[in-house]
Amino acid sequence: MTLDFLLTTLIIVATPGTGALYTLAAALGGGRRDALVAAFGCTLGIIPHMLAAALGLAALVAAEPRLFELIRYAGIAYLVWMAIGLWKSGPAGGPQAEPHQHAWKIIRKAVLINLLNPKLSLFFLAFLPQFVDPADPAPLTTMAGLSLVFMGVTSVVFAVYGLAAAAMRHGLVERPHRMRIVNRLLSAGFLAMAGKLALAQR
C-alpha cells in the first residue's frame, strides 16, 4: 500500500455520491445511531463490487451490454423509489420500527444502493489493479488488502458525514418545516444521482 493509494482513496470516498447522500438522510432522519448503521451498510455494499473486480466478474459486466443495462435500470428505479420515499416522509423521517429491524432496514437499503450501481464494479476493475505491482506473486491477496483499506476509509468518512449531519438534526426536528425542506432537498439529490446513472455509459 502506498501514500498515493491512500490519498486517491480519500479523495474518491470524500466525493459525495449515493452512499454519502443516504448516510446523510439516515442521520437526519434518525440521529447518530442511524448514521453509523448507514455508514456500516454502505461499507458492506462495497464488498460485492470488490469481489467482482478480484474475480473478473466486473469484466463480464463490462463486456455484456445487456447485463450492464439490467443492473443500471434497476439502480435507477431504486434511487427514484428512495427519492419518492424521502419526498413523502414526515418531518422526522417517518415512524421507527423495532431497533434491530430498523437497523437491518437501513443496512439493506445501503447495500442495495451500492449493489445496483454497475459503474462501481467497473470503477474497481480499473482502480485497484493500478496499485498492484505486475510482478506481485500474490496479486489477489494484495487486492484484498487494498480493498479492506478502501472499506476502512469509506466507513470512517461516511461516519464523519453522518455524525456531522446528526449533530444538526435536533434543531431541524424542532422545526418541522425545515426538516421537510431538507427531506425534499435530499430527495432531489437522489433524483440527480438517478439521472447521472441514467446518462452513464460503459
The CA-to-CA distance between both ends of the chain, in Å, stands at 28
Grid cell, residue 167, equals 449533530
Q: What residues in the chain have per-residue pLDDT under 70? A: 1, 56-63, 89-101, 118-119, 170-176, 178-179, 200-202
**Spatial CB neighbours of 24, under 8 Å, sequence gap ≥ 6:** 161, 162, 165, 186
**Spatial CB neighbours of 115, under 8 Å, sequence gap ≥ 6:** 45, 48, 49
Say what the pLDDT of residue 120 is.
73
The model's pTM is: 0.76
CB of 46 closer than 8 Å to CB of 140: no
Grid cell, residue 97, equals 420500527
Say what the pLDDT of residue 195 is.
84
